[in-house]
Structure 1
Amino acid sequence: MTPRTPLTSSLPTSFSVAQATAAGVPRGRLRTRTLDRPFHGVRSRRIGESAGLVALCHAYAPRLRDGQFFSHETALLLHGAPMPEWPYMPALHVSAHRPLREPRTRGVAGHRLQGRGSAMQNLAGLPVEDPVRAWRQCGSLWQVGDLVAAADFLLTGSRPPVTVAELRGEVERMGDVRNGILSRALDDVRAGVRSARETRLRLLLRDAGLPEPQTAWNLYDERGTFIAELDLGYPEFGVGIEYDGRVHAQDARQFARDADRWDAVRALGVDLVRILSHHLDGDGVAAVEKVRAALARAGARPLH
């Protein structure tokens, strides 16, 4: 048996056929089963059919032409924003501004966008659309709650990458879509939200007729010592809400620390409602009823 020709170390994990040929790799070597073929004209040492979208971006990178970049939900994913929940599957989006051409190949959603000044960012060596523009682009793809969750993420942190004014300005400049879905989403955006499921819980409570809870409620004791930051809360009723989607057995120490923190919160007289992942399954009615009951215990007016 003829020994397999080793690949040169100068080739990255994913590379184009043209790159390999220029490096002296025989064409026959590129047809072996040891190399994946994630896209036409691309070979990879380790991608596989179950590769996630980020890995596919790196696999597609050798095919990018000058002026092409990752956009839409692909860009938001690379910026770290949450995606719509399963069974929704985000696609690989690649765009170019006119007069340049978008890609047309299997497995890629190509877009030829209106010509405008570049605002691309470099993330891990990949050309990625600015998050403000990418969020607006998702208006043609996502439901309103998913747009709110992504915007909540972009507005949160010690140095948020965007502002509400920037998001709204992009919509005003480039136009809204789908009966004003972006403007409606912006009306529901709040800073201080740490997960997409917290956003979903907040919107569920409001849509069920409950008062909208405050996000990131900070609690202090009588001496002014910080005790905890609750995900959501109703300070006027003394009701706090924590969403916990973890599998506790995976992190016993953190769970123990949180249990002590919950005791400290309750010692302040706060009725703490813990919402777990299964409470949000389906229509989320279990989560809504837990919060409704706590508000009733606090003496809130009848809530329908």
Structure 2
Amino acid sequence: MISIGIIGAGNFSVKHIEAIRKLPSLRLKAICRRDPLALNHQKKTYGVEGYTDYKELLEDPTIDAVLIATPHHLHATIAITAAGAGKHILLEKPMASTWEDCLAINDACEKNNVKLMLGQVAQFSPAFVAAKKYLEAGELGVIHMARATSVSFWKHAERQDWHLTKNTGGGYLLSVAVHQLDLLCALIPSRVRGVYAMISNRFHRDEVDDGGIIILKFSDGQQASLHFSGFQNGVNQVDAELYGANGIIKISHSQGTYLGKNQKWELLPESYTENWMADALESEWKDFARAIELNRQPKVSGEHGLYVMEVLFAALTSSVSGKEVALPINFKSNSN
């Protein structure tokens, strides 16, 4: 049985805890959060040990792996320390708030021979899994173009202050739209080689972004776009479409994946579930556990995480310069 510690046990951690408790191969041993009252409540609710200092949690030799779900700018310090303590790591997205921190996290995990998995939970949704299976079978033919959309209410009740400041790694792209960027990078079967972006803060005028358009050019000629916005008033729209020689794939985590052919849409088998987030989190933890047990790379590896974050930071660089950025690229010390 793999013993788990959670560092950063905020509101979303409850969903992680529910997923962990469903899997017989995992056991939640301890949690860490800075709010002592909330920590005490979770300790009693789940019957686990609790810490306000993550270093004390990492000193427990019986803990095999940790979930890190803290503010983005803290990811690197905690993940590097956890790797040094020999703990396998499930790291919530984004990987980190700077390119240098992303590299340092991956290097620390490789050096200490621990598994690093990025919490791109959308890759485990039934809709994504069905789409990937269909694409890998070659049924769509050659993919020519793709479009992803991440449009949602930005300042909802659970939005934190650190999501709205640059020095804490805030902004809609890093916090939310990174999921759809990851989808494009994971499903299109060639590497991004050029990025052009226009990113702004038109909706709220905060110091961080809340909308933009990113154009991706791939090495095999595919083209893709990501449109994102954190609106003040509207209707959430999170989906993607891939256009191939033999049809269209339309992916919605909440509604399933549809195949478009001959002017008709058909729902792909096993692509829809009523509670996709719960099912995806359970699958995510199951894959993480299997990676540890079988000593293999997890589905969303550190290498894949670096790829996505390089594209993301290239987009931020392009938006500032007004020019297309070619990949791979050596970023300067302050990538964003």
TM-score band, normalised by shorter chain: under 0.3
TM-score (norm 1): 0.27
TM-score (norm 2): 0.25
Greater RCO, 1 or 2 (C-alpha within 8 Å, sep 6+)? 2
